[in-house]
Chains A and B, each alone.
Chain A
Amino acid sequence: MTRTFFLHIEENSPLIKLHPLLKISFLITVNVLPWIIDMPLLLVIMLMCLLALYKIMRIPLKRLCKFIVLSIVIIQAIMFSYIFGSKIPGRIVYVSFPWGTYVSDKTLLYAITVTLRFLNMLIGSTMILAVLRDIDIIYGFLYLKIPYSIAFTISLALRSATIFIDDYFRIRDAMVLRGVNFDKGNIVTRARNYSRLAMPLMVLGVRRMIELGYILEVKGLGDVKKRTFLYEFPLRPIDVALLMFMVCLVVVTVVLKYFLQVIRFPGWPFS
């Protein structure tokens, strides 16, 4: 297995052979759809479909384990935010707060809806990240007619993020070996300890930046007006069909929500 962006690539998955444009389009679709949809039942169905896709595409669900802590942090924040800071109209108001917000019978349902949105985005994005290679980012963006320099910058950002994550843990472990405890103390102590990681990280960052600047110059990246590419990814009819399907899915969702008002919150069976 090859490591790329935050994960190791699942080389056995049929998704790996997917056209780069389709991978990027799927990533966009899987993040746009939950943002449009606010009907809990539909979001649950979408979540089930995504989990089924993991099985079909032979991507192990354990890939999601490393995001459990992140998910808990985000879900508690969503719940806290909607319970104490929202004004979602409902039939009954249970509690009113002095700062002008209240908890109605629809508040918890809406908070769960937002949580489902987030989970759909996370699970869908992780699935694509599990098969996304550096060249997919660049070629995918190029097919979307995004300039090469921007595609390369985004790819470089994601690639170097992975390297810096390794650096971060290496430096952190070295500091732990020297007796620093990152889990102890109040927020200020913890923040101070973490800020001490900054110096070695920044030295590595600046050194890489200078070296990379020279490397890119030597490779003549800025001088070439019309680039040629090593790989070719011709769009097959099945790729075009899948692309059309994703576009149609987004268009149909927009029409159903904003024009026909069928899939609006709270929707069946809560309406």
Chain B
Amino acid sequence: MDVKKIAITGITAGLCLPLALFAIILVPIPGLPAASGFWIPAGFYFVMTLWFGLWGALGGHIATTIAMGYFFGYTLHIWMNGGIGDLIAPLVCLIIFKVTKARPDLRSRKDIAVWVVAVVISSLVCGLWVHTIHLFFGIITWPSWYIGVLTYLIGDTMAVLAVGTPLLKSLTDYVKQSPMYIWK
């Protein structure tokens, strides 16, 4: 494994891990252990994935898996499901950026539009994944599925847009100097 990838994954996980814990404590959702109404780390690992590719997403996945499972062990499927969902979401966002040839520095209107749409789609895909798996396991009921997907969509989209947008706009030029940046 390339050492730069180790650095990206390890540091992203280290950065997102305390943020995941704080998000769970500061904005908890009654009834959903290890969940938060404002998933702060999502803003970070979405941005890291757009800058550094798969390894940023993997870091986010490790962080959320450790944060939700290691300390707040609820049941195995909830833990793994949430962790995998958080791996899928930023990758969907990255794929949308690659397909539409948008740039993460959000210079043009097209980039901003793609960013907003990509975040909404990614959060929706992730919300659908997590809650449909919960439904199959019998953890939630059909009415809770709608509420769950909606709150997931709103909570994740809000967090990613509120945290991620200023990060992408102001720090992308700084990150471009790094050899780890994937958009050459």
Contacts and interface: CB of A to CB of B under 8 A. Distances in A.
Interface in A189-212: 190-192, 194-195, 198-199, 201-203, 205-206, 208-210, 212
B73 A156 contact: no
Contact of B141 (A85, A187, A191): A85
B30 A76 contact: yes
Interface in A85-101: 85, 87, 99-101
A216 B31 contact: no
Interface string B26-39: 11111111110110
B14 A149 contact: no
A209 B7 contact: yes
Interface magnitude class on chain B: 35 or more
Given A153-B6, A161-B13, A191-B162, A210 B31 contact: no
A258 interface: no
Contact of A153 (B13, B21, B37, B143): B13
B18 A161 contact: yes
A204 B16 CA distance: 13
A212 B52 CA distance: 15
B40 interface: yes
B54 to A, nearest CB: 13
Contact of B31 (A85, A165, A198): A85
A157 B163 CA distance: 21
Given A77-B33, A198-B166, A153 B74 contact: no
Contact of A81 (B8, B17, B33): B33
A85 B38 contact: no
B25 A70 contact: yes
Contacts of A260: none
A155 B11 CA distance: 10
Interface class of chain A by DSSP: helix
Interface class of chain B by DSSP: helix
Interface stretch (B58-66, B108-116, B121-129): B58-66
Contact of A157 (B27, B63, B74): B63
Contact of B38 (A81, A118, A168, A187): A187
A212 B9 CA distance: 11
A198 B28 CA distance: 19
Nearest to A217: B3
B24 interface: yes
Contacts of B59: 157
Contacts of B28: 73, 76-77
6 contacts: A153-B13, A190-B26, A191-B38, A195-B163, A198-B167, A209-B12
Interface of A: 31, 34-35, 67, 69-70, 73-74, 76-78, 80-81, 84-85, 87, 99-101, 114, 117-118, 121-122, 125, 147, 149-150, 152-161, 163-165, 168, 187, 190-192, 194-195, 198-199, 201-203, 205-206, 208-210, 212-213, 216-217, 221-222
